[in-house]
Chain A
Amino acid sequence: MKESANGTKQNEWPLWEVFYQPNNGKPFEHAGSVHAPDAEMALQNARDTYSRRNEGINLWVVPSDQIVASTPEDQGPFFDPANDKAYRHPQFYSVPRAAKKRK
């Protein structure tokens, strides 16, 4: 607990990352973060902050310090190898015109 500018011992609630599911069956997206003392309040704060306009039907909250993120230095080794695997992408394949239309 750090000494506060006005001399009192002020603590700060931990930070949580908030993810929401926009619609049934859709993947979760990152919404932002909230401060909360514990998981239940984090969930409530996430609801009150990030679904004021019915943005989501489900929420996840994760303590921010539990997020493991790749570093910029990883960018080469992590993501470059995928760059030359064009066969993983649908654009790699040509489809006869008639088949396309049926979509």
Chain B
Amino acid sequence: MSTLDKTPVKRDEILFEYLVRLADDRLILGQRLSEWSGHGPELEEDLALANIALDMIGHASGLYTYAAEIEGEGRDEDDLAYFRDDIDFKNFQMLEQPKGDLAYTIARQFLFSLYSYLLYMELKDADDEQFAGLASKHLKEIRYHLRHSREWVLRLGDGTEESHRRIQDAFDDIWMYTGELFEMDEVDKKAAEEGFGADLAKLRKPWKEHVDEVLDEATLTVPDDNQYMASGGRTGFHTEHLGHMLAQMQFLRRSYPDAEWT
């Protein structure tokens, strides 16, 4: 949604918007995670990160496909992924940040997987059969992402001095992007009223409690909420990283739009 777009009104329009937001989050994070392929710290972790990336892109693909179907204008998942600009992408800013070192990748994965887990626990009961079905299917995989990233937070936090410093830095750097995960805008409110959206503000407490618990066990300090918090991903307002990522991701498909690429 650029600054020019109107808030959706009809149920289908709201559902479309809601699905695209979730899909954008997952595509962008999946794209970042896939950058690890061939460059992981050990072969086993290369495989693990690729698995999470594949899940993320798979989830995005399922959500885009359903969104396109709801929209009914003949678009498909690739139209949504490849033919929208950065001001049309609705992902959280946290997810477009460069992959950083493994500490950064893990800290982000943990915070986002925990958020996704709590969110999808709600969405699996969404008042829309197909959406609920997708959510409960994806929930199984999210549960594993949470387990994997949580275990790594513990190991890096309570590992060596260097790993402790690196992951503490990572949490400190990311923290400013956690605020917008729980913001409720018009779309979120309407989606909740329609029975297929979650009350995000309510997720904040259990999310924070679990983050506190895990970071404490990992001997890490939870960053202060009282700092500048980024906002705007859901309206198409992004950091500069997204444009570069999309330029890379979309260039081939856009250069030859009439060619078949599937």
Report Cα–Cα, A44/B144, bound state, in Å: 9
21 A-B residue pairs with CB within 8 Å:
A13-B42, A34-B44, A35-B43, A35-B44, A36-B44, A40-B151, A41-B44, A41-B151, A44-B48, A44-B147, A44-B151, A45-B44, A45-B45, A45-B48, A48-B44, A48-B47, A48-B51, A49-B44, A49-B47, A52-B47, A52-B51
**Chain A positions 33 through 76: 1 when the CB is less than 8 Å from some CB of chain B, otherwise 0:** 01111001100110111001000000000000000000000000
**Chain B positions 140 through 169: 1 when the CB is less than 8 Å from some CB of chain A, otherwise 0:** 000010011001000100000000000000
The count of residues in chain A whose C-beta lies closer than 8 Å to any C-beta of chain B is 13
Report Cα–Cα, A40/B149, bound state, in Å: 12
B interface with A by C-beta (< 8 Å): 42-45, 47-48, 51, 144, 147-148, 151, 155
Q: Which residue of B lies closest to A44 (CB)?
A: B148
Report B260 CB to chain A, min CB distance, Å.
Answer: 28
Report A58 CB to chain B, min CB distance, Å.
Answer: 15
Give the dominant DSSP class at B's interface. Answer: helix
A interface with B by C-beta (< 8 Å): 13, 34-37, 40-41, 44-45, 47-49, 52
Report B106 CB to chain A, min CB distance, Å.
Answer: 13
Report B70 CB to chain A, min CB distance, Å.
Answer: 30
Q: Which residues of B contact A37 (CB under 8 A)?
A: 155
Q: Which residue of A lies closest to B151 (CB)?
A: A40
Report Cα–Cα, A47/B45, bound state, in Å: 11
Q: Which residues of B contact A48 (CB under 8 A)?
A: 44, 47-48, 51
Report B214 CB to chain A, min CB distance, Å.
Answer: 14
Report Cα–Cα, A71/B109, bound state, in Å: 46
Report A72 CB to chain B, min CB distance, Å.
Answer: 31
Which of A34, A35, A41, A48 has its CB near the most chain B CB atoms (within 10 A)?
Answer: A48
Report Cα–Cα, A44/B45, bound state, in Å: 10
